[in-house]
Amino acid sequence: MSVDSGADAGASLYEDQKKIYPATVSGTFRRLKWAILVVGMAIYYLLPFLRWTRAPGQPDQAILLDLPGRRFYFFFVEIWPQEVYYVTGLMIIAAFVLFLMNALAGRIWCGYLCPQTVWTDLYFAVERIFQGERREQMKRDRGPWTFDKIWRKAATHLTWIVIAMLTGGAFVLYFADAPTLLVELFTLQADMTAYVWVAILTSTTYLLAGFTREQVCLYMCPWPRIQAALTDEWALNVSYRVDRGEPRGSLKANKKLRAAGEKAGDCVDCGQCVAACPTGIDIREGLQMGCIQCGLCIDACDAVMRKTGQDIRLIGYDTDINIERRERGEAPVFKFFRARTMVYVVLIAVVASVMAWRLGTRATIGLNVLHDRNPQYVQNSDGSVRNGFTVRLLNKKAERRELALAIAGMPAGTRLETSSPAKTEGGALLLPVDSDQTREVRVLVTAPAGAALPVSQDLTFVLRSPDGEIVNTRDFFKSP
């Protein structure tokens, strides 16, 4: 049985991807994008080489994700695996910052800061260097494969691959001592994992920035859908001023209309805004999912407006409210301080404050306790009951310390013992832990015979540092 309906037979459900050749523009937003690109890339490539003085024996790299050592160094902060909630906190702050940016000025993240946009912009620039401007590129792509076309294409792709390799190369420098790893990478002495990651990032950068480009924003990235649900009528978005631009027409036609006393728009229908758009959309058709809010059409249109002697910002950052107000002949209003933005600011401040407070007051010792699962208790021949625990002690200071482990909540006569070498002091075990290290010990808690204990008794492990810091962990003591 066929489901084809005559004329549609053989037609594809999917439109072929058309290559976009964005025209070069100059202006405020282009300059801003260049500045962000240069600063952003400088930070990305140079940050791994920034040094930070720490205690002897600790790495001196300012930002280091030390996976073998299970530490994350961020300037003066050292995060242990047990403190991964700081990373969660950072991600929550990043999400709220993104929401706030969206509430203030739409997809500015997409247009200016997203790595996909930044690297694609750089790849466009490389394309222009070797293959010329938009028209030249389009003409060459339609033409036959001449020597001129081949060497220009080859130079473009070679440069793209070098940029992609530098991108992947810089990424792995965040995971080891950067100067050492850099030398190892070039002398082929680095670990195979490093080469694998460089290869993965090289290929993804080359593919995403060189080929899929705006397709990533249109089809792969979830943010356009999310932001569409989060935006409101007060958010600034790149918009075409319909009230001023329409009816559009050539400069000559518009002049004639005006001379005849009829309404004529400022848009001369030159198509420069569409030609400049890296996602190939026509902003005059209204706000669209494909618009990444990069502002390049504003620069393109401003140049046309200047050339034709008209006011600039026929396309500009505007709000839905103002578009409606202008249509009614009312003056535009901007409202940056509103409930939505204030809620985001408060949430960012709260999460940041909690994190800062936790960081400022966090203990330099830590304690994790794991009760034996099987058997949960052992009854000795003298009637006493014994429970076994695996205890991990954390010493986050850059000096070896003797930590005192004790228990609380158990009846008098309960003993705390370990098979590891340890001194005792007032019922506590004194366990030395090396600087910036963890130590695992097996401990046994034995309740005396005749102690009237329930089946499960709350028990607290207490760890004390020589400086007087105390941390507690609650567990339970099992009895028959």
Binding region for ligand SF4 (CB under 6 A): 238, 240, 245, 267-273, 276-277, 279, 281, 283-284, 291-297, 300-301, 304, 314-315
How far apart, in whole angstroms, are the C-alpha atoms of residue 181 and residue 172?
8
What's the DSSP call for residue 191? Answer: -
Task: Return the number of the residue (293 or 341) whose C-beta is nearest ligand SF4.
Answer: 293
Q: How far is the CB of 94 from ligand SF4 (least distance, A)?
A: 23
How far apart, in whole angstroms, are the C-alpha atoms of residue 132 and residue 117?
21
Q: How far is the CB of 128 from ligand SF4 (least distance, A)?
A: 16
Q: DSSP 3-state assignment of 442? A: strand
Q: How far is the CB of 116 from ligand SF4 (least distance, A)?
A: 13
Q: How far is the CB of 245 from ligand SF4 (least distance, A)?
A: 6
- 285: CB partners within 8 A, 6+ apart: none
Task: Return the number of the residue (238 or 264) whose C-beta is nearest ligand SF4.
Answer: 238
Task: Return the number of the residue (28 or 146) whose C-beta is nearest ligand SF4.
Answer: 28
Q: How far is the CB of 439 from ligand SF4 (least distance, A)?
A: 56
Task: Return the number of the residue (257 or 444) whose C-beta is nearest ligand SF4.
Answer: 257
Put residue 414 in one of left, alpha, beta given phi > 0 → left and psi -120 to 50 → alpha.
beta
Q: Return the closest-CA partner of residue 131 out of 112, 109, 154.
A: 154
In contact, 56 and 398? CB cutoff 8 Å = yes
Task: Return the number of the residue (209 or 431) whose C-beta is nearest ligand SF4.
Answer: 209
Q: What residues pair up with 462 in beta bridges, in sequence order?
A: 406, 472
Question: Which residue shows structure tokens 């007060």?
Answer: 234
Q: How far is the CB of 218 from ligand SF4 (least distance, A)?
A: 11
How far apart, in whole angstroms, are the C-alpha atoms of residue 351 and residue 100?
14
Task: Return the number of the residue (184 or 320) whose C-beta is nearest ligand SF4.
Answer: 320
How far apart, in whole angstroms, are the C-alpha atoms of residue 420 and residue 404?
14
127-134: list long-range contacts, CB under 8 Å, 24+ apart.
Answer: 127/156, 128/24, 129/159, 130/155, 130/156, 130/159, 131/156, 133/23, 133/24, 134/21, 134/22, 134/23, 134/24, 134/275
In contact, 370 and 432? CB cutoff 8 Å = no
Q: How far is the CB of 241 from ligand SF4 (least distance, A)?
A: 9
Question: Which residue shows structure tokens 């010493």?
Answer: 395
Tell whether omega for the bond before 375 is within 30 degrees of 0, i.e. cis: yes
Q: How far is the CB of 159 from ligand SF4 (least distance, A)?
A: 24
Task: Return the number of the residue (30 or 397) whose C-beta is nearest ligand SF4.
Answer: 30
In contact, 230 and 102? CB cutoff 8 Å = yes
Give me the DSSP letters along 309-334. T--S-SEEEE-HHHHHHHHTTPPP--
Task: Return the number of the residue (234 or 240) whose C-beta is nearest ligand SF4.
Answer: 240
Q: How far is the CB of 262 from ligand SF4 (least distance, A)?
A: 19
Q: How far is the CB of 272 from ligand SF4 (least distance, A)?
A: 4
Q: Which helix (H) or strand (E) holds 101?
A: helix 85-105
Task: Return the number of the residue (66 or 269) whose C-beta is nearest ligand SF4.
Answer: 269
Task: Return the number of the residue (283 or 367) whose C-beta is nearest ligand SF4.
Answer: 283
Backbone angles phi, psi at 59, to 5 degrees: -65, 150
